[in-house]
Amino acid sequence: MKKITMIKIEGCPYCAAAYRAIDEIKKDYPPVELEVIDENTQPKLAERFSNHYYVPSMYVGGKKIYEAQPGETYEECLANVKKVFEAAS
């Protein structure tokens, strides 16, 4: 299983939804390493993933699989987080 990298910002409601989705689906997938990078407190690490505008953004093997969009519902977030976990499997 490949590592998932998540770019987030503290206090972001879409990031909170992504964490909720991860908690909901992780039991359905093999264990995965989740690297979480906070854009505000870890800007040097976040620079490696400069091809995103919105957070959360999730990468597998350096490839962006999911980037939240304004107005996204929880159901949309959940479906996208599932795609990330499938890409990492």
pLDDT digits (tens, 9 = 90+) for 23-65: 999 999 988 999 999 999 999 999 999 888 999 999 999 999 9
pLDDT at 2 over 80: yes
82, 27, 76: which is closest to 58 by C-alpha? 82
Domain residue limits, the chain: 4-88
Q: How many CA atoms lie within 13 A of 70 on its CB side?
A: 1
Confidence at residue 51, expressed as pLDDT on a 0 to 100 scale? 86
What percent of the chain is modeled with pLDDT above 70? Answer: 100
Confidence at residue 50, expressed as pLDDT on a 0 to 100 scale? 83
pLDDT at 1 over 80: no
33, 28, 30, 29: which is closest to 58 by C-alpha? 33
pLDDT at 67 over 90: yes
CATH of domain 4-88: 3.40.30.10
pLDDT at 15 over 80: yes
